[in-house]
Amino acid sequence: MTISDAPYPIRPVSQDEFDAFHRVDMHAFHGSPLTEDDKQQVFSRLEFDRSLAAFDGPTPVGTAGAYTFALSVPGPGTLPAAGVTWVSVLPSHRRRGVLRSMMRHQLADIRERGEPLAILWASESVIYSRYGYGRAMWHADLQLKRGEATLAPWVPRDPGLRLRLAEPEAALPELAKVYDTVLPSRPGIIARNDAQWQGTIYDPAEWRHGASPLHCLLAEDDSGPRGYALYRGQSHWDETSLPGATINVRELAAADPAAAVAMWTDLLSRDLTAEFNIRNRPVDDPLLFQLTDPRRARTRLKDALWVRITDVPGALAGRRYSSPVDAVIEVRDELLPGNAGRWRLATSGSGGLDGYAASCEPSGSAADVELEVTALGAAYLGGTGLGGLAGAGLVTERRPGAVRQLAAALAWEPAPWCPVDF
Protein backbone atom coordinates (compact mmCIF):
# COMPACT_ATOMS: atom_id res chain seq x y z
CA MET A 1 0.00 0.00 0.00
CA THR A 2 1.27 3.46 -0.84
CA ILE A 3 2.33 5.53 2.16
CA SER A 4 1.90 9.25 1.63
CA ASP A 5 5.12 11.18 2.23
CA ALA A 6 4.03 14.49 0.71
CA PRO A 7 4.84 15.74 -1.78
CA TYR A 8 6.55 12.54 -3.03
CA PRO A 9 4.70 9.36 -2.03
CA ILE A 10 6.92 6.41 -1.11
CA ARG A 11 6.20 2.75 -1.75
CA PRO A 12 8.01 -0.48 -2.67
CA VAL A 13 8.59 -1.11 -6.37
CA SER A 14 7.82 -4.26 -8.35
CA GLN A 15 10.25 -6.12 -10.57
CA ASP A 16 8.52 -4.58 -13.59
CA GLU A 17 9.48 -1.14 -12.26
CA PHE A 18 13.14 -2.00 -11.75
CA ASP A 19 14.44 -0.18 -14.84
CA ALA A 20 12.90 3.09 -13.64
CA PHE A 21 14.21 2.38 -10.11
CA HIS A 22 17.71 1.77 -11.45
CA ARG A 23 17.55 4.90 -13.63
CA VAL A 24 17.58 7.05 -10.47
CA ASP A 25 20.65 5.26 -9.15
CA MET A 26 22.36 5.46 -12.55
CA HIS A 27 21.95 9.25 -12.75
CA ALA A 28 22.89 9.86 -9.10
CA PHE A 29 26.05 7.73 -9.26
CA HIS A 30 27.04 8.56 -12.85
CA GLY A 31 26.61 4.92 -13.82
CA SER A 32 25.60 2.98 -16.92
CA PRO A 33 22.71 0.72 -17.87
CA LEU A 34 22.98 -2.85 -16.60
CA THR A 35 23.59 -5.78 -18.91
CA GLU A 36 21.07 -8.60 -18.76
CA ASP A 37 23.55 -10.71 -16.79
CA ASP A 38 24.07 -7.84 -14.34
CA LYS A 39 20.33 -7.44 -13.96
CA GLN A 40 19.80 -11.13 -13.22
CA GLN A 41 22.53 -10.96 -10.59
CA VAL A 42 20.77 -8.01 -8.98
CA PHE A 43 17.41 -9.78 -9.10
CA SER A 44 18.85 -12.82 -7.29
CA ARG A 45 19.53 -10.66 -4.22
CA LEU A 46 17.23 -7.63 -4.38
CA GLU A 47 14.29 -7.75 -1.96
CA PHE A 48 11.53 -5.92 -3.78
CA ASP A 49 9.33 -5.56 -0.71
CA ARG A 50 12.20 -3.58 0.84
CA SER A 51 13.06 -1.58 -2.32
CA LEU A 52 11.46 1.83 -1.91
CA ALA A 53 10.97 4.63 -4.38
CA ALA A 54 9.70 8.17 -3.93
CA PHE A 55 7.48 9.20 -6.83
CA ASP A 56 6.82 12.47 -8.59
CA GLY A 57 3.67 11.45 -10.42
CA PRO A 58 4.50 8.14 -12.15
CA THR A 59 8.26 8.75 -12.09
CA PRO A 60 10.63 7.47 -9.37
CA VAL A 61 12.81 10.34 -8.17
CA GLY A 62 14.40 8.73 -5.10
CA THR A 63 15.31 5.19 -4.07
CA ALA A 64 16.33 3.28 -0.95
CA GLY A 65 16.63 -0.48 -0.54
CA ALA A 66 17.61 -2.92 2.18
CA TYR A 67 18.89 -6.48 2.43
CA THR A 68 17.94 -8.81 5.28
CA PHE A 69 21.20 -9.67 7.04
CA ALA A 70 22.49 -11.37 10.15
CA LEU A 71 25.41 -9.35 11.56
CA SER A 72 28.01 -10.65 13.98
CA VAL A 73 28.12 -8.49 17.10
CA PRO A 74 30.51 -8.47 20.08
CA GLY A 75 30.20 -11.87 21.66
CA PRO A 76 29.41 -15.20 20.04
CA GLY A 77 26.18 -14.30 18.27
CA THR A 78 24.53 -12.37 15.46
CA LEU A 79 21.64 -9.93 15.35
CA PRO A 80 19.18 -9.16 12.54
CA ALA A 81 20.34 -6.11 10.59
CA ALA A 82 19.03 -4.22 7.59
CA GLY A 83 21.74 -3.67 4.99
CA VAL A 84 20.76 -0.29 3.54
CA THR A 85 21.65 0.19 -0.11
CA TRP A 86 20.46 1.67 -3.43
CA VAL A 87 20.05 5.10 -1.81
CA SER A 88 19.85 7.82 -4.45
CA VAL A 89 17.94 10.91 -5.52
CA LEU A 90 17.45 12.05 -9.11
CA PRO A 91 19.64 15.14 -9.73
CA SER A 92 16.58 17.14 -10.77
CA HIS A 93 14.98 16.54 -7.35
CA ARG A 94 17.84 17.26 -4.96
CA ARG A 95 17.35 19.50 -1.92
CA ARG A 96 13.61 18.90 -1.80
CA GLY A 97 13.46 16.61 1.26
CA VAL A 98 13.21 13.41 -0.78
CA LEU A 99 16.09 11.67 1.01
CA ARG A 100 14.91 12.68 4.46
CA SER A 101 11.43 11.33 3.77
CA MET A 102 12.85 8.04 2.50
CA MET A 103 15.17 7.68 5.49
CA ARG A 104 12.31 8.26 7.93
CA HIS A 105 10.12 5.79 6.05
CA GLN A 106 12.83 3.15 5.85
CA LEU A 107 13.95 3.40 9.48
CA ALA A 108 10.37 3.04 10.70
CA ASP A 109 9.98 -0.06 8.53
CA ILE A 110 13.26 -1.56 9.81
CA ARG A 111 12.13 -1.09 13.41
CA GLU A 112 8.72 -2.59 12.69
CA ARG A 113 10.40 -5.66 11.16
CA GLY A 114 12.17 -6.30 14.47
CA GLU A 115 15.66 -5.50 13.23
CA PRO A 116 17.54 -3.59 15.96
CA LEU A 117 20.29 -2.46 13.59
CA ALA A 118 20.62 -0.79 10.20
CA ILE A 119 24.02 -0.78 8.51
CA LEU A 120 25.45 0.79 5.38
CA TRP A 121 28.54 1.84 3.46
CA ALA A 122 28.36 5.61 3.11
CA SER A 123 28.86 6.99 -0.39
CA GLU A 124 29.41 10.41 1.21
CA SER A 125 30.41 10.71 4.84
CA VAL A 126 28.49 13.95 5.39
CA ILE A 127 25.08 12.43 4.72
CA TYR A 128 24.15 9.68 7.12
CA SER A 129 24.92 11.10 10.56
CA ARG A 130 21.86 13.29 9.95
CA TYR A 131 19.77 10.13 10.11
CA GLY A 132 21.38 8.57 13.18
CA TYR A 133 24.14 6.49 11.55
CA GLY A 134 27.53 6.50 13.25
CA ARG A 135 30.94 5.48 11.89
CA ALA A 136 31.30 2.15 13.65
CA MET A 137 34.16 0.56 11.75
CA TRP A 138 37.45 1.44 10.10
CA HIS A 139 39.28 -0.50 7.42
CA ALA A 140 42.88 -0.44 6.23
CA ASP A 141 44.12 -0.50 2.63
CA LEU A 142 47.69 -1.77 2.26
CA GLN A 143 50.12 -1.27 -0.61
CA LEU A 144 53.45 -3.09 -0.77
CA LYS A 145 56.17 -3.06 -3.41
CA ARG A 146 58.10 -6.11 -4.57
CA GLY A 147 60.81 -7.05 -2.08
CA GLU A 148 59.06 -5.26 0.77
CA ALA A 149 56.48 -7.89 1.59
CA THR A 150 58.59 -10.43 3.47
CA LEU A 151 57.18 -11.99 6.63
CA ALA A 152 59.16 -12.18 9.85
CA PRO A 153 60.98 -15.48 10.47
CA TRP A 154 59.01 -16.19 13.64
CA VAL A 155 55.54 -16.27 12.04
CA PRO A 156 53.63 -19.54 12.62
CA ARG A 157 53.90 -22.10 9.84
CA ASP A 158 52.27 -25.50 9.46
CA PRO A 159 54.01 -28.05 7.22
CA GLY A 160 50.74 -29.93 6.96
CA LEU A 161 49.10 -27.12 5.00
CA ARG A 162 48.76 -27.33 1.25
CA LEU A 163 47.96 -24.50 -1.17
CA ARG A 164 45.68 -25.08 -4.14
CA LEU A 165 44.46 -22.86 -6.95
CA ALA A 166 40.78 -23.32 -7.73
CA GLU A 167 38.05 -21.75 -9.80
CA PRO A 168 35.97 -19.57 -7.46
CA GLU A 169 32.68 -21.15 -8.57
CA ALA A 170 33.94 -24.68 -7.92
CA ALA A 171 35.44 -23.68 -4.57
CA LEU A 172 32.30 -22.08 -3.10
CA PRO A 173 31.67 -24.88 -0.55
CA GLU A 174 35.22 -24.50 0.77
CA LEU A 175 34.96 -20.71 0.84
CA ALA A 176 31.69 -20.87 2.76
CA LYS A 177 33.12 -23.34 5.30
CA VAL A 178 36.06 -21.05 6.09
CA TYR A 179 33.88 -17.94 6.16
CA ASP A 180 31.37 -19.49 8.56
CA THR A 181 34.25 -20.45 10.85
CA VAL A 182 35.57 -16.88 10.83
CA LEU A 183 32.10 -15.26 11.20
CA PRO A 184 31.84 -15.34 15.03
CA SER A 185 35.46 -14.28 15.52
CA ARG A 186 34.93 -10.57 14.77
CA PRO A 187 32.02 -8.14 15.06
CA GLY A 188 30.72 -6.67 11.81
CA ILE A 189 30.82 -9.75 9.58
CA ILE A 190 27.64 -10.45 7.59
CA ALA A 191 26.44 -14.04 7.19
CA ARG A 192 26.31 -14.95 3.49
CA ASN A 193 23.64 -17.03 1.78
CA ASP A 194 23.99 -18.73 -1.62
CA ALA A 195 22.86 -15.65 -3.57
CA GLN A 196 25.34 -13.45 -1.74
CA TRP A 197 28.16 -15.90 -2.45
CA GLN A 198 27.26 -15.84 -6.13
CA GLY A 199 27.44 -12.05 -5.98
CA THR A 200 30.84 -12.25 -4.30
CA ILE A 201 32.39 -14.19 -7.17
CA TYR A 202 30.41 -12.52 -9.96
CA ASP A 203 33.09 -11.49 -12.43
CA PRO A 204 31.94 -10.10 -15.80
CA ALA A 205 34.75 -9.18 -18.16
CA GLU A 206 33.66 -5.55 -18.41
CA TRP A 207 34.29 -5.10 -14.67
CA ARG A 208 37.96 -6.16 -14.87
CA HIS A 209 39.40 -3.07 -16.60
CA GLY A 210 42.20 -5.08 -18.15
CA ALA A 211 42.90 -7.28 -15.12
CA SER A 212 42.68 -11.06 -14.97
CA PRO A 213 39.58 -13.05 -14.05
CA LEU A 214 39.00 -13.53 -10.34
CA HIS A 215 41.32 -16.20 -8.92
CA CYS A 216 40.98 -18.31 -5.78
CA LEU A 217 43.76 -19.66 -3.56
CA LEU A 218 42.88 -22.26 -0.92
CA ALA A 219 44.88 -23.31 2.14
CA GLU A 220 43.89 -26.79 3.31
CA ASP A 221 45.02 -29.88 5.12
CA ASP A 222 43.66 -33.41 5.42
CA SER A 223 40.75 -32.14 7.53
CA GLY A 224 39.62 -29.64 4.89
CA PRO A 225 39.94 -25.92 4.04
CA ARG A 226 41.46 -23.51 6.56
CA GLY A 227 41.72 -20.36 4.46
CA TYR A 228 41.01 -18.74 1.10
CA ALA A 229 42.01 -15.69 -0.89
CA LEU A 230 40.15 -14.07 -3.78
CA TYR A 231 42.39 -11.93 -5.96
CA ARG A 232 43.18 -10.82 -9.49
CA GLY A 233 46.34 -9.82 -11.30
CA GLN A 234 47.07 -7.15 -13.87
CA SER A 235 50.02 -7.75 -16.15
CA HIS A 236 52.41 -4.94 -17.09
CA TRP A 237 55.80 -4.67 -18.81
CA ASP A 238 57.73 -1.43 -19.15
CA GLU A 239 59.61 -0.15 -22.19
CA THR A 240 62.73 -2.10 -21.23
CA SER A 241 60.80 -5.38 -20.80
CA LEU A 242 60.91 -5.29 -17.01
CA PRO A 243 57.85 -6.95 -15.46
CA GLY A 244 55.61 -4.83 -13.26
CA ALA A 245 52.39 -6.74 -12.65
CA THR A 246 50.00 -5.84 -9.83
CA ILE A 247 48.16 -8.29 -7.59
CA ASN A 248 44.95 -6.97 -6.07
CA VAL A 249 43.66 -9.01 -3.12
CA ARG A 250 39.90 -8.64 -2.81
CA GLU A 251 39.30 -10.87 0.20
CA LEU A 252 41.33 -13.18 2.42
CA ALA A 253 39.93 -15.16 5.32
CA ALA A 254 41.68 -17.72 7.48
CA ALA A 255 40.57 -19.91 10.35
CA ASP A 256 44.00 -19.72 12.04
CA PRO A 257 47.26 -17.73 11.81
CA ALA A 258 49.25 -20.45 10.04
CA ALA A 259 46.73 -20.63 7.19
CA ALA A 260 46.90 -16.85 6.72
CA VAL A 261 50.71 -16.94 6.75
CA ALA A 262 50.78 -19.67 4.09
CA MET A 263 48.55 -17.66 1.75
CA TRP A 264 50.29 -14.31 2.31
CA THR A 265 53.69 -15.93 1.79
CA ASP A 266 52.54 -17.25 -1.57
CA LEU A 267 50.69 -14.16 -2.79
CA LEU A 268 53.31 -11.62 -1.72
CA SER A 269 56.14 -13.49 -3.42
CA ARG A 270 54.56 -14.03 -6.84
CA ASP A 271 56.97 -13.72 -9.76
CA LEU A 272 56.77 -10.87 -12.32
CA THR A 273 54.97 -8.71 -9.77
CA ALA A 274 55.93 -5.18 -8.72
CA GLU A 275 53.05 -4.14 -6.47
CA PHE A 276 50.52 -5.71 -4.11
CA ASN A 277 47.28 -3.91 -3.24
CA ILE A 278 45.28 -5.30 -0.34
CA ARG A 279 41.94 -3.64 0.31
CA ASN A 280 39.48 -3.54 3.19
CA ARG A 281 41.45 -5.25 5.92
CA PRO A 282 40.66 -4.94 9.63
CA VAL A 283 42.68 -2.22 11.31
CA ASP A 284 44.36 -4.82 13.53
CA ASP A 285 45.03 -7.25 10.68
CA PRO A 286 47.64 -9.77 11.89
CA LEU A 287 49.57 -9.18 8.66
CA LEU A 288 50.57 -5.74 9.96
CA PHE A 289 52.36 -7.44 12.86
CA GLN A 290 53.83 -10.26 10.76
CA LEU A 291 55.64 -8.18 8.15
CA THR A 292 59.37 -7.80 8.64
CA ASP A 293 58.94 -4.06 8.01
CA PRO A 294 55.30 -3.08 8.69
CA ARG A 295 55.94 0.54 7.65
CA ARG A 296 56.26 -0.72 4.07
CA ALA A 297 52.55 -1.59 4.08
CA ARG A 298 51.77 2.13 3.49
CA THR A 299 48.57 1.76 5.47
CA ARG A 300 45.63 4.05 4.65
CA LEU A 301 42.67 4.14 7.01
CA LYS A 302 39.10 4.77 5.88
CA ASP A 303 35.65 4.44 7.37
CA ALA A 304 33.78 1.22 6.65
CA LEU A 305 30.38 0.19 8.06
CA TRP A 306 28.11 2.79 9.61
CA VAL A 307 25.62 1.57 12.22
CA ARG A 308 22.20 2.95 13.05
CA ILE A 309 20.47 1.56 16.15
CA THR A 310 16.73 1.24 15.59
CA ASP A 311 15.92 -0.54 18.88
CA VAL A 312 18.17 0.62 21.73
CA PRO A 313 17.28 -2.05 24.33
CA GLY A 314 17.27 -4.82 21.73
CA ALA A 315 20.64 -3.82 20.34
CA LEU A 316 22.38 -3.22 23.67
CA ALA A 317 21.06 -6.42 25.26
CA GLY A 318 21.89 -8.36 22.09
CA ARG A 319 25.68 -8.03 22.35
CA ARG A 320 28.26 -8.90 25.01
CA TYR A 321 30.55 -6.56 26.94
CA SER A 322 34.26 -6.64 27.75
CA SER A 323 33.91 -5.57 31.38
CA PRO A 324 31.15 -5.04 33.94
CA VAL A 325 29.03 -1.94 33.59
CA ASP A 326 25.99 -0.49 35.32
CA ALA A 327 25.05 2.87 33.84
CA VAL A 328 22.00 4.89 32.90
CA ILE A 329 22.31 6.14 29.34
CA GLU A 330 20.13 8.97 28.06
CA VAL A 331 19.68 8.63 24.30
CA ARG A 332 18.40 11.36 22.00
CA ASP A 333 16.81 10.24 18.73
CA GLU A 334 14.80 12.67 16.63
CA LEU A 335 13.71 10.16 13.98
CA LEU A 336 12.75 7.17 16.16
CA PRO A 337 11.14 8.49 19.35
CA GLY A 338 10.92 4.94 20.76
CA ASN A 339 14.68 5.03 21.22
CA ALA A 340 14.70 8.32 23.10
CA GLY A 341 14.86 8.27 26.87
CA ARG A 342 16.90 6.82 29.70
CA TRP A 343 18.05 3.21 29.63
CA ARG A 344 19.82 1.28 32.35
CA LEU A 345 22.51 -0.97 30.87
CA ALA A 346 23.65 -3.51 33.45
CA THR A 347 25.85 -6.57 33.00
CA SER A 348 25.34 -9.75 34.97
CA GLY A 349 27.30 -12.88 35.76
CA SER A 350 31.03 -13.43 35.81
CA GLY A 351 31.75 -12.86 32.14
CA GLY A 352 34.09 -15.37 30.50
CA LEU A 353 35.45 -15.95 27.03
CA ASP A 354 32.27 -14.62 25.44
CA GLY A 355 32.15 -11.48 27.57
CA TYR A 356 29.45 -10.22 29.91
CA ALA A 357 25.74 -10.53 29.12
CA ALA A 358 23.64 -7.46 29.85
CA SER A 359 20.10 -6.23 30.22
CA CYS A 360 18.83 -2.89 28.99
CA GLU A 361 15.64 -1.53 30.56
CA PRO A 362 13.89 1.84 30.78
CA SER A 363 15.03 3.87 33.79
CA GLY A 364 13.67 6.76 35.80
CA SER A 365 17.04 7.46 37.41
CA ALA A 366 19.32 10.35 36.57
CA ALA A 367 21.49 9.83 33.52
CA ASP A 368 25.16 8.88 33.94
CA VAL A 369 25.92 9.49 30.25
CA GLU A 370 24.02 11.45 27.59
CA LEU A 371 24.50 11.03 23.84
CA GLU A 372 22.82 11.07 20.45
CA VAL A 373 21.88 7.74 18.88
CA THR A 374 24.54 8.52 16.23
CA ALA A 375 27.32 8.26 18.83
CA LEU A 376 25.85 5.09 20.31
CA GLY A 377 25.79 3.50 16.85
CA ALA A 378 29.40 4.51 16.26
CA ALA A 379 30.51 2.79 19.48
CA TYR A 380 28.25 -0.24 19.12
CA LEU A 381 30.62 -2.72 17.43
CA GLY A 382 33.57 -1.81 19.63
CA GLY A 383 35.58 -0.23 16.82
CA THR A 384 35.06 3.46 17.68
CA GLY A 385 35.98 4.45 21.22
CA LEU A 386 33.38 6.19 23.34
CA GLY A 387 36.17 8.18 25.00
CA GLY A 388 37.15 9.72 21.68
CA LEU A 389 33.54 10.63 21.00
CA ALA A 390 33.34 12.25 24.43
CA GLY A 391 36.52 14.19 23.69
CA ALA A 392 34.86 15.48 20.52
CA GLY A 393 31.90 16.75 22.53
CA LEU A 394 29.51 14.06 21.29
CA VAL A 395 29.05 12.36 24.69
CA THR A 396 28.26 14.14 27.96
CA GLU A 397 29.31 12.61 31.26
CA ARG A 398 26.98 13.29 34.19
CA ARG A 399 28.55 10.88 36.71
CA PRO A 400 32.34 11.08 37.07
CA GLY A 401 34.00 8.00 35.62
CA ALA A 402 30.88 6.80 33.77
CA VAL A 403 32.27 7.39 30.29
CA ARG A 404 35.45 5.44 31.05
CA GLN A 405 33.44 2.54 32.52
CA LEU A 406 31.01 2.46 29.60
CA ALA A 407 33.80 2.85 27.02
CA ALA A 408 35.72 -0.09 28.50
CA ALA A 409 32.61 -2.27 28.43
CA LEU A 410 31.71 -1.38 24.82
CA ALA A 411 35.26 -1.88 23.51
CA TRP A 412 35.95 -5.25 21.88
CA GLU A 413 38.85 -7.33 20.64
CA PRO A 414 39.49 -8.02 17.85
CA ALA A 415 38.47 -4.97 15.83
CA PRO A 416 35.30 -5.17 13.72
CA TRP A 417 35.60 -6.08 10.05
CA CYS A 418 33.14 -6.43 7.18
CA PRO A 419 34.36 -8.12 4.00
CA VAL A 420 30.91 -7.82 2.37
CA ASP A 421 30.29 -4.75 0.21
CA PHE A 422 26.61 -4.19 -0.55
- Residues marked active site are found at 128, 422
Distance CA 105, CA 77 (A): 28
**Helix or strand run (H / E) with residue 410:** helix 402-410
Residue type, 238: D
Residue type, 44: S
Distance CA 261, CA 163 (A): 11
Distance CA 159, CA 279 (A): 28
Buried b or exposed e, range 208-239, using 16+ CB within 10 angstroms: eeebeebbbbbbbeeeebbbbbbbbbbeeeee
Taking CB atoms within 8 Å and a gap of at least 24, the contacts of 205-210 are 206/35, 208/232, 210/234
Q: Which of 254, 114, 232, 93 is nearest to 183 (CA)?
A: 254
Q: What is the 3-state secondary structure (H, E, C) of 229-292?
A: EEEEEECCECCCCCECEEEEEEEEEECCHHHHHHHHHHHCCCCCEEEEEEEEEECCCCHHHHEC
DSSP E strands, 73-170:
78-89, 117-121, 134-135, 138-145, 162-166
Going by DSSP bridges, is the β-strand pair 138-145/273-282 parallel, antiparallel, or unpaired? antiparallel
Distance CA 183, CA 253 (A): 10
Q: Cα 191 from chain centroid? A: 11
Q: What is the 3-state secondary structure (H, E, C) of 174-203?
A: HHHHHHHHHHHHCCCCECCCHHHHHHHHCC
Degrees to nearest 5, angle at CA 103 with 97 and 107: 150
Distance CA 27, CA 19 (A): 12
Q: Which of 214, 283, 292, 281 is nearest to 254 (CA)?
A: 281
Q: Could you tell me the sign of the dihedral formed by the alpha carbons of 294, 300, 302, 304, in that order? A: negative
